[in-house]
Amino acid sequence: FMRFNPSPQKAVWMAVLFPGGGQIYNRKYWKLPIIYVGFLGLVYGYNWNQRYYKTYQNAYRDLMNGSANASYLQFLPGRTEEQKKQYAKNHYSYLQTTFQRKRNTYRNWRDYCVVGMLGVYLVSIVDAYVDAALYHFDVSPELDAMNNPAMVVSYKIDF
């Protein structure tokens, strides 16, 4: 019966080549759902924010250019297209700053999702290394420190 002795370098390379590969190599399968839920959640967030970023980017561009497409009209109150265009004409600067702010907000959130994905990837690599390096670390209860201090210092302050 061979005792499993993981190599930290091999665990890192497995984690670099395949997210979660280091955890599989270290036989820590319970960590895989954490890694993949993190990735999938951030991919979902990226797609969500990218969709809204594109929507507000098109609306802002159409408003600024006076485009015939006028995708910004979907956001405006009014029953007819003429009422919506009149509203846009009356509230042009407000709509301009609102669409610009929303576009920038969704772009920032999209970018944070990319940074988060990179973070999950790097944490999985570091976890694989640390787990392999400390695989045989003894955490048994026999390692408790004895609570017998060598010297006791006491003092009293009177006022």
User: Residue-wise pLDDT tens for the chain (159 aa)?
Assistant: 778 899 999 999 999 999 999 999 999 999 999 999 999 999 999 999 999 999 999 999 988 887 667 888 888 888 888 888 888 889 999 999 999 999 999 999 999 999 999 999 999 999 999 999 998 887 776 656 665 555 666 777 887
Q: Give the whole-angstrom CA distance, residue 14 versus residue 8.
A: 10
pTM of the full structure: 0.77
The answer to whether residues 36 and 22 touch, using CB atoms and an 8 Å cutoff, is no
Closest Cα partner for 7 from 149, 139, 134? Answer: 134
